Amino acid sequence: MPERMLKFTRVVQEMPDKRPANERVDDFGEIYREYAVEKAQLQAARCSQCGIPFCQIHCPLHNNIPDWLKLTAEDRLQEAYELSAATNTFPEICGRICPQDRLCEGNCVIEKGFEAVTIGSVEKYITDTALQRGWVKPPRPLREREQSIGIVGAGPGGLAAADVLRRYGYQVHVYDRYDRVGGLLVYGIPNFKLEKEIVATRQRLLKEGGVTFHLEFEVGRDASLAELRRRHAAILIATGVYVGRDAALPGAGLDNIVMAMTYLTASNRKGLGDEVPEFDNGNLNAAGKHVIVIGGGDTAMDCVRTAVRQGAKTVKCLYRRDRANMPGSFREVQHAEEEGVDFVWLSAPKAYLGNGRIEGVRVQRMRLGMPDASGRQSPEPIQGRDLTLPCDLAIKALGFDPEDVAALFGTPELALTSWGTIEIDFKTKMTNLDGVFAAGDIVRGASLVVWAIRDGRDAAEEMHKYVQARLAAETTPLARAS
């Protein structure tokens, strides 16, 4: 039965059912079940249909949230899907993994007196249903265009751009050095947050729509950027950031101290059925180990929760600030705590201890001092309060930096920022190289999937304008005469 809106005073916030922690730590399946139809409608109907919807303003894609909530409540799900898909290329992915508590839901105005509308869960429900019922179609253009576009990187940024450009009718070629499509959606983010089949479904749709994928193709090794520029009318670079940050500490050379992406990639590959010798020989497997994860962001949360599922003896997370100052999503911290992770707040590693292999971590206790330029309180060491924690596997999740893409691509003239990210024109999304655009983490630095989608869509629109302007210039009488 269709629901009326503004139910927030009478209907309490309810997320889809969450599997109990003791059950979910035994596998890598997603932790939330799907909403039943009635519950989705009722939760959507909590929305107060704000005149100025702050949820929409704070969604990087400016999704038309109030309208698709209303359509869901009214049992007009196909229209809700059409509206949601008009601004978001992968709503079922964002509904699962956006940090909603910092974006749309964190800015839902009814949160002030009542808990926020469960926007992400409804968004996921709408598109999961659309996929099941066959409403999601491959990107089929109205007419084909001769010009081809090269996209380097099959992460969410590159894929969102591929979808838009294919709908315009371009011959779209996506190059990626991995053997699978999805970038961090597949090899970074664990299955319990995003099941890999969801990404594979999107790959199938893009392929059916005519997008060509060139996998295990590394630009810089298999072709230079200059060669790709000769092949295509325009190029998009969406290669992400992959160089893990590190801290030089005594004992850093011991075995079993690993970078977060090495650890997560091995776990994701194992889950996908690949042979992973370093996992099988125990080096990248937390089973039976005392695990310490260093860092407080979402990558650290993915590592601790993966270690729990692999059967670690203990899992501790060291973070130098306190809970209130963690960069990670509050929801993720809560999931981790429920699953048995021990957070050692206000603590930082001082040295790795061991003999050949790590056996412990010497930990420096911290306190929060005066706020720094960013307004966050800076951690300061407390002398004489060090402690030693046992550790057989230390995982470093301290953030990511870009590779030197200019050197990698054999294009030293490509302009980079002082952080090593690619510099683009704010309006045209183009780099300093004519016809070469960039999007996603390689422009922003490590960010979010939803921002990569936004950037990919925006860059695709600008690439279309660029190619059409070039064509128009080539076909003017003056150009033909010259």
Residues of the shown chain interacting with ligand FAD in the complex, contacts defined by CB under 6 A: 97-98, 152-158, 175-178, 183-184, 188-189, 193, 218-220, 238-240, 264, 298-299, 302, 408, 440-441, 447-450, 452
Where along the sequence are the contacts to ligand SF4 (CB under 6 A)? 47-50, 53-55, 59, 61, 63, 65-66, 88, 94-95, 98, 100, 103-104, 108-110, 117, 119-120, 123, 450
Phi, psi of 120 (to 5 degrees): -60, -40
Q: What angle do CA 128, 133, 135 make, to 5 degrees?
A: 85
Partner whose binding site includes residue 13, from ligand FAD, ligand SF4, none (CB under 5 to 8 Å by kind) = none
What does 95 interact with, of ligand SF4, ligand FAD, none (CB < 5 to 8 A by kind)? ligand SF4
Residue 264 binds which of ligand SF4, ligand FAD, none (CB < 5-8 A, kind-dependent): ligand FAD
Q: Shortest CA distance to 442 belongs to which of 183, 97, 63, 224?
A: 183
Give the HSE-up count for residue 136: Cα atoms under 13 Å, Cβ half-sphere.
Answer: 24
Identity of the residue, 8 or 175, whose beta carbon is nearer to ligand FAD in the bound complex: 175
Task: Give the nearer residue to ligand SF4 in terms of CB position, either 101 or 218.
Answer: 101
Q: Give the nearest distance from C-beta 134 to ligand FAD in angstroms.
A: 27
Tell me whether residue 32 is exposed, middle or buried, using C-beta atoms within 10 angstroms of its C-beta: 0 to 12, 13 to 18, 19 or more: middle
Q: Which does 53 bind (CB under 5 to 8 A by kind): ligand SF4, ligand FAD, none?
A: ligand SF4
Which CB, 167 or 177, lies closer to ligand FAD? 177
Nearest to 159 by CA among 147, 172, 148, 143: 172
Q: Contact 155/183 with Cβ under 8 angstroms?
A: yes
Distance of closest approach, residue 158 Cβ to ligand FAD, in angstroms: 5
CB closer to ligand SF4, 61 vs 405: 61
CB of 285 to ligand FAD, least distance (A): 17
**Smallest distance from ligand SF4 to CB 6, Å:** 9
Instruction: Quote the least distance from Cβ 403 to ligand FAD, whole Å.
Output: 7
Closest distance of CB 68 from ligand SF4, Å: 9
50 binds, among ligand SF4, ligand FAD, none (CB under 5 to 8 A by kind): ligand SF4
Among ligand SF4, ligand FAD, none, partner that 219 touches (CB below 5 to 8 angstroms by kind): ligand FAD
The option from ligand FAD, ligand SF4, none interacting with 119 (CB < 5 to 8 A, set by class) reads ligand SF4
Of 96 and 350, the one with the shorter C-beta distance to ligand FAD is 96
Q: Which is nearer to ligand FAD, 46 or 444 (CB)?
A: 444
Cα angle for residues 95, 98, 103 (degrees, 5° grid)? 110
What tokens does 78 get? 């196909």
Order across the sheet with 290-294: list the strands: 257-259, 393-396, 290-294, 314-318, 342-344
**CB nearer ligand SF4, residue 98 or residue 333:** 98
* Cβ nearer to ligand SF4, comparing 95 with 153: 95
Contact 183, 17 (CB under 8 A): no
**Minimum distance, C-beta of residue 230 to ligand FAD, in the bound complex (Å):** 17
The binder of 32, among ligand SF4, ligand FAD, none, by C-beta within 5 to 8 A per type, is: none
**Judged by CB, which is closer to ligand FAD: 149, or 184?**
184
Encode 241-267: b = buried (16+ Cβ within 10 Å), e = exposed. bbebeeeebebeebebbbbbbebbbbb
Shortest distance, position 306 Cβ to ligand SF4, whole Å: 23
Decide whether 156 or 271 has the Cβ nearer to ligand FAD: 156
CB of 277 to ligand FAD, least distance (A): 21
Q: State both tokens at 148.
A: 């081809």
Could you tell which of ligand SF4, ligand FAD, none binds residue 139, using a CB distance below 5 to 8 A set by kind?
none
Contact of residue 399 among ligand FAD, ligand SF4, none (CB under 5-8 Å per partner type): none
Instruction: Name residue 271's amino acid.
Output: G
Tokens found for residue 373? 């330029």
CB of 162 to ligand FAD, least distance (A): 11
